[in-house]
Structure 1
Amino acid sequence: MTQVKICGIRSLEEARWAVEAGADALGFILIPKSKRYIEPKELQYIIAHLPPSIRKVGVFADEPPDHVASITLQCALDIIQLHGQEDAKLYHKVPAVKIKAYSFRENNLQTLHSEIEQGLIQGILLDSKIEGQFGGTGVSLPWRDLDFQAILTRIKKTKLPVILAGGLNPQNIEEAIQLTHPFAVDVSSGVEQEGRKDRELIFQFIQKVKNLKTNNHNSPKP
């Protein structure tokens, strides 16, 4: 079954909505420039009130490795998501599973493969990109595009879990999964109203994912 990550959580209430709806992971934006940024102290409080079965993901972009490691330990993060131009080998000592974000429009697939071969990352997040924004753009990936499908095939050959992001919402999630068969899906703006998480949209999104039968051949979760 396809896993679900609700990203951009900013309050305990939002986190509980996602948990109650059946989310597998929650994402917290630790990028100060992001409109969904959450202070580490607030994040620490939220995580302390979540069930241990929920995977907690910290999203960073070009932050110093020591800073990332400090927040990872302070907040008891399970996973870190590197969403910038980081050199993954600089983060190998951070005590968490590492996911690397990859934009379809970026020409750095060779670098990504090198990081995979070195065992530096344990998952790949495919996202759309708008200059100056770090995820949550609401822009969908071109799932039917032949170039996109070719890159997706190459990435899946690495056998690492592939997480699909980029403009997902309750209306398009079924088509997106059927065209890409990811290990997991990641949503942020697609379950928001007026810039804040919406309980009903979170529920609708997760139910559509969990009720969809797919032939998902991705590797086990990292």
Structure 2
Amino acid sequence: MIPRVKICCISSVREARIAIAAGASALGLVSAMPSGPGVIDEATIAEIATIVPPGVASFLLTSATDVDAIIAQQQRTQVNTLQLCDRLERGTLSDLRSALPGIALVQVVHVVGDEAIVEAREAEQAGAHAILLDSGDPRLPVKQLGGTSRRHDWRISRKIRESLQIPLFLAGGLRPENLRDAVETVGPFGLDLCTGVRTDGLLDAEKLQQFMLTIRGLATSFPGTYGNPS
């Protein structure tokens, strides 16, 4: 099977419809972040979530590190997937699973070195339904939690993918010209892109179509399935 495609930084119902029509499996909706592109208000996120059809995941990207705050965000926005862009400081993934049955939990791991391998395994053991590898750096004074357009070390990403039993999404600097390399090097369940399919900050239907055509042209097989959260 070919990788799932998540289009991130969706800013409007119009962009959501473009991504869905192109065959996206998931939409990324960015709430308040310390840095990076694509942030929209929660009212817009909730509006977009209402038009997402069955079979397409609506990801709320949250920088919150408190379980109660994350639960409240999900209840306001009614998304079906939470993308945790930072590490939890209060509460656990198990707490989120208990409070939000049926809502998928995707833990972001920023690949800044080999320590990301341990972090990803710990997130799996803690109850994440999937891992998303990105190229931010939460150690900076102003945290980078995604949207950097940078490519990280995909050799580390491959090691992480091979160590996990849950699906893995790959983000960071993906473009049509490096897709085959990404797929062959990492073997991800899904690909997550934002700036690579945008022009002047807006989702570009032509670039997106080219990306999807490139993906469909790949004949590589990938492990894992992304079923309903248990």
Instruction: State the TM-score bracket (shorter-chain normalisation).
Output: 0.7 to 0.9
Contact 2:52 2:58 in 1 (8 A): no
2:212 aligns with 206
Contact 2:107 2:123 in 1 (8 A): no
1:116 aligns with 2:116: no
Give the counterpart of 1:133 among 141, 144, 149.
144
1:98 aligns with 2:102: no
Q: Could you tell me how far apart the structure 2 residues matched to 1:210 and 1:32 are?
A: 32
Q: Deviations over 1:54-92 (max 9, x none)?
A: 110011123422221122123221111111122595243
2:178 aligns with 172
Question: What root-mean-square deviation, in Å, do the aligned CA atoms of Structure 1 and Structure 2 show?
Answer: 2.0
Contact 1:137 1:166 in 2 (8 A): yes
**Aligned runs of 1:154-173 on 2, under 5 Å?**
154-173=160-179
Q: Deviations over 1:141-182 (max 9, x none)?
A: 233x4xx2xx52244232110101110012211221122111
1:25 aligns with 26
Q: Structure 2 stretches of 5 or more lacking a match?
A: none
**Aligned runs of 1:64-103 on 2, under 5 Å?**
64-87=66-89, 90-94=92-96, 95=100, 96-103=103-110
SS at match of 1:66: helix
SS at match of 1:9: coil
**Displacement of 1:215 after TM fit?**
1.9
- TM-score (structure 2 length as normaliser): 0.85
Q: Structure 1 stretches of 5 or more lacking a match?
A: none
2:60 aligns with 58
Contact 1:18 1:203 in 2 (8 A): no
| Percent sequence identity over aligned pairs | 25
Counterpart code for 1:156: E
- TM-score (structure 1 length as normaliser): 0.88
Q: Could you tell me how far apart the structure 2 residues matched to 1:49 and 1:152 are?
A: 35
